[in-house]
Structure 1
Amino acid sequence: MKAVTELAGRGVRAALVSTDEFATWEEPVSWWPRLETGVLEPLRAGAPGVYRRVDWSSGVPLPGEEIEIDVPDVLVLEGVSSGRARIRPSLSLLVWLDGGSETELLDRGAGRDGEESRAELRRWQLFERGWFAVDGTRTAADHVVHASGP
């Protein structure tokens, strides 16, 4: 599957890579080398990037389809750890999305993924709290966006 689109007919080719396509409950951020070697390094060299998406459709993470990313004009990295200290020197812009309180986020996640995922989502939240504190992601952000609602 190819993952580059044109932005609103403006001739700007953009690609979106979500960390959700790499992360699992057991591997929340340690997958980063796969993103670097499969996507970031090839794109920097002017070559297409390739990665295998994690498929969650069965409720457990399994290897999914292969995604090819042609060299875009703009690459958007989205999700937990996409603004990590290691990549910041290469970023043009870092945006932090404040999605609400931990309780609101947990309820929204369980509503989306099913009540049976609540314990894993809570464990994930606790990991995120520590990750962001150590990494300093929010304080390094160029912009903080406060989102509200579902």
Structure 2
Amino acid sequence: MHDLASRIRRLGPSCGPVRLVGVDGHAGSGKSTFAGRLAGALDGAPVLRLDDIADHEALFGWTGRLLSQVIEPLGRGETAYYSPYDWRTRRFGPPRPLPPAPVILVEGVGAGRRALRPYLALLLWMDLDREESWSRGRARDGAEQREFWEGWVRAEGEHFAGDPSRPFADLLVRQRGEGYEMLNGPAGTGDSPRPLTQGDGPSAMW
């Protein structure tokens, strides 16, 4: 993880003074946990969770909101203010500040969508099969979210069918026990995934 953090720090800014790093993948694929660990390796880098930007009426129709509330202010080197959505009360809360930082992680399904990729310094894809991801997500959220998940599966499938992220990922992230394996993504090699190591040694594990 610290090797990945070092790599990110060496990247040039992608949105004003900020290096935006997208962490995308299917719902339930482990994005939040991974982003939290990566943020720690980056000395507490802020994490913008797309669950705070989306809402029940716009599961994937939040691009304009993200651009106006977050991307455009950061691009000018200004503090962004966004109103996080409460999924239980179905209301947006008071504005929350997001000052420019050397690195900001954008975590959530659709973080690598077409409209956001021009602002990303790096795109990471949590490489877990969608059925397994959704199964994990359902188990995590419990029976009370069963109806929501039925709608979500349809919406996510439609989103990625029209605007896939994985083909544009710089790195693929696969969980291996307590750690992670990083492989070059389709955008990083233009070829099949391979471990981020030289020669024939073991895969990079963090």
Give TM-score scaled by structure 1 length. 0.79
Whether the 8 Å CA contact 1:49–1:70 is kept in 2: the answer is yes
C-alpha distance in 1 between matches for 2:170 and 2:94? 33
Change (3 A) 1:101 1:29: closer
Identity of aligned residues (%): 35
Change (3 A) 1:13 1:131: same
Deviates more, 1:93-102 or 1:130-139: 93-102
Deviations 1:90-135 (A, max 9, x none): 2111111133442x33333233322121232132122212211211
Deviations 1:35-65 (A, max 9, x none): 1111111111011000000113xx3422224
- State the partner residue of 2:123: 94
- State the partner residue of 1:41: 72
Whether the 8 Å CA contact 1:13–1:73 is kept in 2: the answer is no
Deviates more, 1:123-132 or 1:46-55: 123-132
Give TM-score scaled by structure 2 length. 0.60
Aligned length: 139
For residues 7-86 of structure 1, what are the structure 2 equivalents within 5 Å? Answer: 14-56=45-87, 59-86=88-115
Change (3 A) 1:47 1:98: same
Whether the 8 Å CA contact 1:38–1:49 is kept in 2: the answer is yes
Structure 1 alignment gaps of length 5 or more: 1-6
Equivalent of residue 163 in structure 2, options 129, 132, 135: 135
Change (3 A) 1:75 1:124: same
Q: Any idea what SS the aligned residue of 1:111 has?
A: helix
Deviations 1:63-87 (A, max 9, x none): 2242101111112111011111112
C-alpha distance in 2 between matches for 1:35 and 1:119? 26
- State the partner residue of 1:4: none
Structure 2 alignment gaps of length 5 or more: 1-38, 178-206
Instruction: Give the alignment's Cα RMSD to 1 decimal.
Output: 2.4
C-alpha distance in 2 between matches for 1:74 and 1:80? 19
